[in-house]
A = this chain, B = another copy of it.
């Protein structure tokens, strides 16, 4: 069984020889190879230069025994194609210089095909897919409508999402119009990534846990559902639907769609799976901070997760969110090897 088969089979809840593993943000600042490249290029330069994006995507594949690569990109460039001015400001994170505040702002947003606006990532996907040669799976991804809307309205990261939620409550028509445009754009982007060679897709609704379940159902669910329908309209590529802080609304994420539901570490994975039901696969759910702990603790915690869902086909091992800066590289290697060895022994 190739590593690619391992993860593709897990997405379909078929038996595997060992639990597949990849890590959100597995390419990034914790790796010396990446930091070296970042001395010469900005994040956006790397993302927009297919050869550089290909190189960075492959860095963790060369370093670790991962079952999947995830294309090196960011969730925010999709907003540039719609007309927003994006900048990554050192220390402050992403900034949108013309955030959306009114119906007129939303009116001006363009919905354009991904082949026009995000061709660099599609080219990088083609290149990486070729380099991986079918051995390791390639994952494409996009931010989900709520998470993208929160950046577009707030103008950057946010603690309480007061502006985004206020627009949602005060101008629901404007909100839905914005999320429709985002859904069309994001759905098309994911469809194009699958066409370019992505074998699995992940929809990142990273900040959707800021909403109550009732607000998610009313203001977000129909839009995320439409994204997933469009993404799968040409090819039925497996899709991972991920969010953090969603322990109280996992069945709603499933209702929006996805073959795999990504779960953070704030809930026992077996309990999450029981709430979701056996007709969906799960991904998760080690706390990223545990990678700072001694290897013995990392193994103990990974074993607990594997034991909890033992015998239930359809588990992709991952962290509950992205790898953090300063994570020790050798701990990442130890986790990946342990997950394979421990789950193969048990299988």
Contacts and interface: CB of A to CB of B under 8 A. Distances in A.
Nearest to A296: B169
Interface string A291-313: 01110010001001000000000
B266 A212 contact: yes
A170 B294 contact: yes
Interface stretch (A62-70, A73-81, A100-108, A282-290): A282-290
A282 to B, nearest CB: 14
Contacts of A215: 287
A272 interface: yes
A292 B162 contact: yes
A165 interface: yes
Interface string A264-275: 011110011000
A83 interface: no
B288 A160 contact: yes
A292 B163 CA distance: 9
Nearest to A164: B289
A160 B324 contact: yes
A160 B209 contact: no
Contacts of A297: 169-170
Interface in A202-216: 209, 211-215
Contacts of A120: none
Nearest to A288: B160
Interface stretch (A36-44, A45-53, A225-233, A245-253): A245-253
Contacts of A211: 266, 287
A214 B287 CA distance: 11
Given A169-B297, A248-B272, A267 B213 contact: yes
Given A215-B287, A290-B169, A324 B247 contact: no
A161 interface: yes
A135 interface: no
Contacts of A170: 293-294, 297
Which 8 A-B pairs have CB atoms at the shortest separation, nearest pair first?
A: A248-B267, A247-B248, A169-B293, A247-B247, A212-B265, A165-B289, A248-B266, A166-B292
Given A214-B268, A215-B287, 9 more contacts: A162-B324, A165-B287, A170-B294, A211-B287, A212-B285, A212-B287, A213-B267, A214-B301, A248-B248
Interface of A: 160-162, 165-166, 169-170, 209, 211-215, 245-249, 265-268, 271-272, 285, 287-290, 292-294, 297, 301, 304, 324, 326
